[in-house]
């Protein structure tokens, strides 16, 4: 899976976008804010919001937008985000390869 982090054009140091080359959700957009329990959004959105420091997540088919809390640094938050995305990518590849599980 390819992951491209978009540099913010809004000068908002607390928001980042990640573009990937696998489909992350079926809906046009899914949004979740920490503390909400919206069952209409995907399990992936719920997994991302549970990452320490993540305040909100917005999923589009090939993009994730994350807002982090001001007291958190991107290094620790991104470590979890990249790990989760690599796992999702490995599951996506394995499901297309006849359930052959591989972790990137």
Q: Write the DSSP string, 45-65.
A: HHHHHTSTTEEEEEEETTEEE
Cα-based distances in Å from 23 to 13, 52, 63, 70, 71: 26, 24, 9, 29, 31
Residue 9 confidence (pLDDT): 59
Give residue-wise pLDDT tens across range 53-93.
Answer: 999 999 999 999 999 999 999 999 999 999 999 998 887 65
Q: Which two tokens stand for residue 67?
A: 């807002």
pLDDT grade for 102, boundaries at 50, 70 and 90: very low
List, in order of start, the domains of the chain with CATH numbers: 3-96 (3.30.1370.70)
Average pLDDT of 36-59?
94
CA separation for the pair 86, 80 (Å, rounded): 10
């Amino acid at each position: 899976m390819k992951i491209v982090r978009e540099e913010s054009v809004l000068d908002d140091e607390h928001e980042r976008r990640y573009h990937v080359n696998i489909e992350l959700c079926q809906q046009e957009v899914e949004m979740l804010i920490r503390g909400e329990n919206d069952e209409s959004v995907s399990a992936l959105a719920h997994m991302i919001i549970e990452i320490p420091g993540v305040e909100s997540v917005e999923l589009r088919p090939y993009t994730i937008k994350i807002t982090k809390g001001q007291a958190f640094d991107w290094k620790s938050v991104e470590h979890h985000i990249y790990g989760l995305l690599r796992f999702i990518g490995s599951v996506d590849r394995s499901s297309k390869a006849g359930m052959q599980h591989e972790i990137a």
